[in-house]
Structure formats: structure tokens, C-alpha cells
């Protein structure tokens, strides 16, 4: 009996230690708005899901400054309750060292996006119709990818990503590298991405992305630029500027973006702007209101909801109010 009691105590002690060093967190965001949308042809009132999601994050302390981590994330429709099936947003596992950086494998959004156009998306965090990445020309999520992120040295960190197409029709091979710098009120990010599309004659899209931001008192200003270059469409430039004034629970937002026409597609440019207001009920819950509009040239169709569209020299606009809750 003494041996059994001792063994049980050792198992309990080991299990308690393991549990203390491991954690799994449920997280998510529900973001829903009611909007009056107009594309110069159809005018309608809709309830809009704005990239609502839920997921699981896990971490295990392996000792010696080494950690194992994973993330699984899935989107769902907050307007209908519909699910997308599987972890369609993120699904990756990795190792992180305090001194050597981290490496992760699976499906995820690369650091180039997070450090540039996403970094300045302050109003609704690049979700919904007001997203600052409506005209962003490079890739977001990548499959079958490996990414390394360095530790931070004097405010600098760099990352490198490679994704295998695995020979499947429609699969892609992607490569990117990015550098970010943060120092007090300043942020800067810059990088390059190249994607090769399998099953379409080996066509490629490549390009640069860069962004900078500065916080001055209650004001934050952001500016981003990207230049995709497509084998078929040619290249074009996209510039996005954002500004936020925050006062206690109130936030006032302005955003303006412009993209030029592709070299090989005349009249394919567009401009967009957003006026927005957030009232933060807490650190996790906010109310918001906005007016958004995007003006497409004759051969452009950027922005808005695919259910409405804005093709061919039309203005797509939306006035809306919403609630966002993070958990």
C-alpha cells in the first residue's frame, strides 16, 4: 500500500507539473453590423458578418527557454450561425526559443501582411467592407507553409516563409521575406513576396509591401504601399493612409486608399475612403458606426460584398452600425 501511495503521489506531482507548464486557450471574435449598401444598381439593407472567428491556442513550456505552440482557427457567419467547416483560417504547430526565434508549419497568414497593411488597419482591424486590404494585391493565407521569425534585436526582427505547391492543381508555391522595426511610437515594415500558381502554366505574381506608423499623443497615423506584379495583368501601385484620434473610450477614424490601373488593363484603378467611430465599452467590446465608399474605374471591381459587387465604373458604398466582442 505504501508503494502504491508513493507511486500515486509521484504521478500526481508529475501531472501537476505538466499541467502547470501547458495551456490551451479558447479565443474568438464576434463582429456583426447592420448596413445600408448601395452599388449604384442595387440598394439594400443587410446584416453583415465581419470575419467572425473562434480558435484554440496552445503552449507547452519544454524548459530551457523552449516552448511548443499551436493554433487552430475557424471562421463562421455571425449573421446566420453558419460554419465554414474545418480550421480554414489557421492550422499550424511550431517551436519557439527565447534566443533563437520561432518556426511554425501549416496554414497561416505570413508576417509580411501583419507587419505592413494589417498593422495600419486600425478601425475594424481589416475586417468587413471597410477593410484597408480591399485593394491589397499580395497573398494573405498560405497553405503547406514553413515560417521562421527571429528574436527582436534593438527593435528589429525578420521573418522568412516558404510554401510548397505539392504538385496539386491550383496549388501554389510562395516565398516571402520581411523586416519589421518598432521603437517607441514608431513602427516600420517592409518585405517581398513571390507566388507561382500551379496548373495555370506556371504564372507568377510577385511584389513588395511596406508600411510605417507613428503615434503622437492621442493621434496615430499610418501609411502603407504595395506593388503587385502579375504575369498577365502587369503591375500597379496601391497606397493606403489611415489616421486615428483616441480620447478615453472614443476613437475617431479616417482612411483613404488609391490603386492605379494595372499596366495591361486600362481603367482598372479605384479609390476608397472610410469615416468611422468606435466607442469602447470595455477592452473586449465596442460599438461602432461608419460610412465607407469605393469608386471603381470602368474595368475594376474592388471592395464591398460579393453579394452586391461594384463592377464597371460604379461606386460601392455602405453606411453601418455594429458590435464587436472579443473573447
pLDDT at 276: 98
Per-residue pLDDT, 303: 72
Is residue 14 in some structural domain? no
State pLDDT tens for residues 113-162.
Answer: 999 999 999 999 999 999 999 999 999 899 999 999 999 999 999 999 99
pLDDT of 168 > 90? The answer is no
pLDDT band at 7, cuts 50/70/90? Answer: very low
pLDDT at 40: 82
Q: How far apart are CA 188 and CA 296, in angstroms?
A: 29
**pLDDT at residue 304 above 50?**
yes
Please indicate whether residue 300 or residue 238 has the higher confidence score (pLDDT).
238
User: What is the distance between the alpha carbons of residues 140 and 154, in angstroms, rounded to a whole number?
Assistant: 28
Max distance between CA atoms of the chain, in angstroms, equals: 85
- The yes-or-no verdict on residue 307 having pLDDT over 70 is no
243 assigned to some structural domain: yes
Would the pTM count as exceeding 0.75? Answer: yes
Whether 179 is covered by a domain: the verdict is yes
Reported confidence tier of residue 197, pLDDT bands at 50, 70, 90: confident
Q: What angle do CA 262, 268, 273 make, to 5 degrees?
A: 110
CA distance linking residue 228 with residue 117, whole number of Å: 13
Residue 302's pLDDT band, with cuts at 50, 70 and 90, is confident
CB half-sphere exposure, 80, CA atoms < 13 A? 8
How far apart (Å, rounded) are the C-alpha atoms in residues 138 and 129? 18
The enclosing H or E element of 307 equals: none
Residues 31, 33, 35: CA angle, nearest 5 degrees? 155
Domain, as residue range, for 230: 24-326
The mean pLDDT value for 76-105 works out to 94
Overall number of domains in the chain: 1
Q: Which residue has the cell 513571390?
A: 194
| Domain at 205, CATH number | 2.40.160.10
Q: How far apart are CA 110 and CA 139, in angstroms?
A: 9
> What separation in angstroms does the CA of 28 have from each of 25, 75, 193, 304, 327?
10, 9, 29, 23, 5
The pLDDT of residue 15: 47
pLDDT surpasses 60 at 9: no
Separation CA 156–CA 58 (nearest Å): 26
Q: What is the pLDDT of residue 199?
A: 58
The answer to the question of residue 5 being in a domain is: no
Domain annotation covers residue 7: no
Residue 16 lies in a domain: no
61 near 67, Cβ under 8 Å? yes
The whole-number pLDDT of residue 22 equals: 87
- Asked whether residue 189 is domain-assigned, the answer is yes
* For range 206-218, the mean pLDDT: 98
- With contact defined as beta carbons under 8 Å apart, do 212 and 187 qualify? yes
Task: Provide the pLDDT for residue 311.
Answer: 58
Least-confidence region, from 164-178, 209-223, 242-256: 164-178
- Percentage of the residues of the chain whose pLDDT score is greater than 90: 77
Query: Which range among 72-86, 191-205, 219-233 shows the weakest confidence by mean pLDDT?
Result: 191-205
User: Residue 184 falls within a domain, yes or no?
Assistant: yes
pLDDT band at 202 (very low <50, low <70, confident <90, very high): low
Amino acid at each position: 500500500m505504501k508503494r502504491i501511495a508513493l507511486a500515486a503521489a509521484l504521478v500526481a506531482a508529475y501531472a501537476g507539473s505538466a499541467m502547470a507548464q501547458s495551456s490551451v486557450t479558447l479565443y474568438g471574435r464576434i463582429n456583426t453590423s447592420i448596413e445600408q449598401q448601395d452599388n449604384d444598381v442595387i440598394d439594400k439593407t443587410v446584416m453583415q458578418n465581419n470575419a467572425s472567428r473562434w480558435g484554440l491556442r496552445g503552449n507547452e513550456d519544454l524548459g530551457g527557454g523552449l516552448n511548443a505552440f499551436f493554433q487552430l482557427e475557424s471562421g463562421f457567419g455571425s449573421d446566420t450561425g453558419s460554419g465554414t467547416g474545418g480550421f480554414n483560417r489557421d492550422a499550424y504547430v511550431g517551436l519557439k526559443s527565447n534566443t533563437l526565434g520561432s518556426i511554425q508549419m501549416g496554414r497561416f497568414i505570413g508576417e509580411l501582411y501583419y507587419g505592413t497593411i494589417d498593422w495600419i488597419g486600425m478601425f475594424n482591424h481589416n475586417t468587413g467592407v471597410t477593410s484597408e486590404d480591399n485593394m491589397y494585391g499580395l497573398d494573405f493565407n498560405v497553405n503547406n507553409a514553413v515560417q521562421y521569425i527571429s528574436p527582436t534585436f534593438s527593435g528589429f526582427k525578420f521573418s522568412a516563409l516558404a510554401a510548397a505547391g505539392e504538385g496539386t492543381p491550383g496549388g501554389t508555391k510562395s516565398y516571402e521575406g520581411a523586416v519589421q522595426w518598432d521603437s517607441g511610437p514608431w513602427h516600420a515594415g517592409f518585405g517581398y513576396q513571390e507566388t507561382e500558381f500551379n496548373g495555370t502554366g506556371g504564372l507568377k505574381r510577385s511584389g513588395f509591401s511596406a508600411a510605417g506608423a507613428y503615434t503622437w499623443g492621442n493621434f496615430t497615423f499610418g501609411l502603407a504601399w504595395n506593388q503587385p506584379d502579375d504575369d498577365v495583368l502587369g503591375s500597379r501601385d496601391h497606397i493606403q493612409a489611415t489616421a486615428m484620434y483616441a480620447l478615453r473610450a472614443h476613437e475617431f477614424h479616417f482612411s483613404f486608399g488609391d490603386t492605379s490601373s494595372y499596366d495591361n488593363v486600362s481603367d482598372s484603378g479605384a479609390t476608397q475612403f472610410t469615416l468611422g467611430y468606435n466607442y469602447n465599452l470595455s477592452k473586449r467590446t465596442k460599438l461602432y458606426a461608419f460610412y465607407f465608399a469605393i469608386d471603381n474605374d470602368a474595368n475594376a471591381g474592388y471592395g464591398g460584398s460579393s453579394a452586391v459587387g461594384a463592377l464597371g465604373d460604379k461606386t460601392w458604398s455602405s453606411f453601418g452600425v455594429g458590435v464587436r466582442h472579443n473573447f
